[in-house]
A and B are shown apart, each in its own frame.
Chain A
Amino acid sequence: EAGVAQSPRYKIIEKRQSVAFWCNPISGHATLYWYQQILGQGPKLLIQFQNNGVVDDSQLPKDRFSAERLKGVDSTLKIQPAKLEDSAVYLCASSFGQGLAGEFEQFFGPGTRLTVL
């Protein structure tokens, strides 16, 4: 079974530039999550989708971050304009959802490491 795919794996940009990350979840997973992991910290949820609808985006800095999940499959996270403090690893995860198809588990992709100079 293919895992969660993310691209690119690494990205270096200058502040005030824009950047986009892509995620393709495991086939059949209705729920998709984007997490931000700053060096030395645990991941923090930015946004959660159920199919193509947003469930939770309370911690997404909406003045500069945006995300979409058209057609309820793959997703794109965008930052525009980037700030130095956006340097982090951006992790995508997916799940069937609680109580569905077995016990609840989120599966993570390899992440995209963003460096903002």
Chain B
Amino acid sequence: AQTVTQSQPEMSVQEAETVTLSCTYDTSESDYYLFWYKQPPSRQMILVIRQEAYKQQNATENRFSVNFQKAAKSFSLKISDSQLGDAAMYFCAYCDQGGSEKLVFGKGTKLTVNP
């Protein structure tokens, strides 16, 4: 079974600075998706960024980018120019491509942004 591990229960960053959240996963599949979801205190889960395993290029969405290392099964999220609104729980998630589509989540990292 696939597993997702987030080794940082909590992280903090100063406003306008950069922070990196770590995620590793375990799978025997070669085709899959990886995601970072943000869950603010209101609890609505929002997709931040998505990476297809077959793409070598790292995904980027404005201030959010990933470092996808397929061989190492590592998928970290970098947030640049951190803003107060970035404060939330961040979940790394895995999904087989062509499978049942269910997401397997890590335990999450709580990000605090200090003014």
Contact = CB atoms under 8 A, between A and B. Distances in A.
A93 B107 CA distance: 18
Contacts of B106: 42
Given A40-B107, A42-B91, A42-B106, A105 B101 contact: no
A13 B100 CA distance: 33
Interface stretch (B12-20, B43-51, B66-74, B76-84): B43-51
Contacts of A104: 33, 50, 95, 97, 101
A103 interface: yes
A interface, how many residues as a size bin? 20 to 34
A23 interface: no
A56 interface: yes
Contacts of B46: 108
Interface residues of B, number: 25
A110 B43 contact: yes
Nearest to B95: A104
A56 B100 contact: yes
A48 B101 CA distance: 9
B103 interface: yes
Nearest to B96: A98
Interface centre among B43, B47, B91, B104 (most CB of A within 10 A): B43
Interface string A95-117: 10110000111111111010000
A42 B109 CA distance: 10
A26 interface: no
Smallest CB-CB A-B distances: 10 pairs: A42-B105, A108-B45, A45-B102, A111-B43, A56-B100, A110-B44, A42-B91, A43-B105, A42-B107, A42-B106
Given A41-B108, A43-B105, 18 more contacts: A31-B101, A33-B102, A40-B107, A42-B4, A42-B93, A42-B105, A42-B108, A44-B105, A48-B101, A48-B102, A55-B100, A55-B101, A95-B101, A104-B33, A104-B97, A108-B44, A110-B43, A111-B43
